[in-house]
Structure 1
Amino acid sequence: MSEQKVPRSVQQRTVIKFLGENVPSAEIHHRLQQQYGEECFSTTGVFEWCKCFREGTEHVENEPRDCRPRTSVTEPNTDNADELIRENRRITIKELGAMLPISVGSVEDIVKYHLHYRKVNAWWIPRTLLDMNKMVRMQAASHLLQQFEDEGGKQAGFLQDNARPHTAKTTMETLWKLKRNLLTHPPYIPDLAPSDFYLFGRLKSDLQGMRFVDDIINQTVQEWIHHQPQVFFEKGIRMLPERWKKCVDSGGEYFED
């Protein structure tokens, strides 16, 4: 029995998904042209697929031609997906599918076309910010920038996101006892958190391609962190004032590097 041939479109999407995080879209298109010639995706097509995979798309197969609605795209599944995303902004499409449990394609429909989320720095965020969200982001960034300029960048501050363990009563009481200057950090702000726009990307790049068993990954991450020089962490922190200014200048919109 002859082996079923993989469609050229699926082959190309597989290549784009594999290269997309580390290779520029234009270079991917150039490589595909060399391999597939006239059957190569257009430049726009390659750029759009790169964007889709960076925002969390998992599948590379062709969509069904009958265009029938997915039966798993229901109101309960949509509500459950929204709740899971709000609890963990870094959850993946595949993890959502396993937890609901429904197909990856149905999860993508729910997340992108019903909940209208997209990814920034590996975080699920609303595709379109409300005016109030923009105002909160801009005011927070403006306040932090003014505080930095007034203090000449010499006053130490404590910056953390709004995860429940970080905002718990015991945590806040401990920070107060330690007399830490807690910096403002509103929701929907991964592009202004050094861990998201700086640290995790480099960690992911260095550990890419590795496979881990049990708790070895925890040990590996800790060793990676301990091996980074002090200047590595200083660089991420020193990028903050410039990013606060970008947020203010953009009127509170999201921005990516």
Structure 2
Amino acid sequence: MNLIHFFGDEAPSRTSVYRWYGEFNRGRSSLQDEFREGRPKSVVVPKTIDAVRELILQDRHVTYREIETILGISGTSIHSILHKHLTVKKICSRWIPYKLSIGPKKGRVDWSKEMLKKYDRGASKHVYDIVTGDESWIYAFEPESKQQSTVWVFQDEPNPTKVVRARSTSKQMVACFFGKTGHVATVPLEQRRTVNSEWYTTICLPVVFQEIRKTNRQRRITLHQDNANSPTSAQTTAFLSTQNIELMGHPPYSPDLAPNDFFLFPYVKNKLRGQRFSTPEEAVAAFRMHVLEVPYSEWQKCFDNWFKRMQKYIDLHGEYFEKQ
């Protein structure tokens, strides 16, 4: 009680007093810590911090356990060095479609500036003239993602497991076209063929244009397509010149600027994951059904986001950016 009276909160505990009493009884006379072999109380010193920094610079994938093994320090000390002293964090690498050089970056920026000006940043009524299209494979079975397979589990239940299954080799390619007001046409390829200029100009595009001009044969159409061989071939160019079609153009190496790639295909295919279809044709029918169920507001949002992406690429000087 006297210790508490004189020292307040800094007074030693009863356990500490008993321990000291025992130490003095066995002949100890110094209040200094005795020398003990082994590692010091703290290894978080400039030398160790520099050693951890060097390990990271040598290998950006180095793990806690590898640092602990190499330097012989505890996980607690490593955590302190990494987050308090070096202020580093471990993040996933950003996946990009291509390694862009200066030329393609400039092309993306120039095209984006041109489109933003031409269509008044998406506010022009002529945005409704744009029809965008692209092709993709539809599989009879596409396994669901890990995120889609998550389920609630009670404390007394075992963790669920699922056998990994690869997507099927049974597939069919489809071309899908849409505008700001919604879906225009989905045209499947038969017999698993890939797109060529003949199919594109004699089967696919005529179906698309006929659907658009069902109620107005003179309706203005601005076609947006990627830079694949078929859409840019001489045969396709000649065909489009006879159809009174304006081409919107598209910058090279830019799937992230194609509405099918950043919106429609991921949106619909995510709904098809985990479902098993007996034939590719059945899978295509399900694909078309989901496309037709896309709400009007989502088509509008897609086009609004398209023009926002253009501005984003200008701000980033043509670099890819993470999905927003």
TM-score relative to the length of structure 2: 0.40
Name the one with the larger strand percent.
Answer: 2
Name the structure, 1 or 2, with higher relative contact order (CA <8 Å, separation 6+). 2
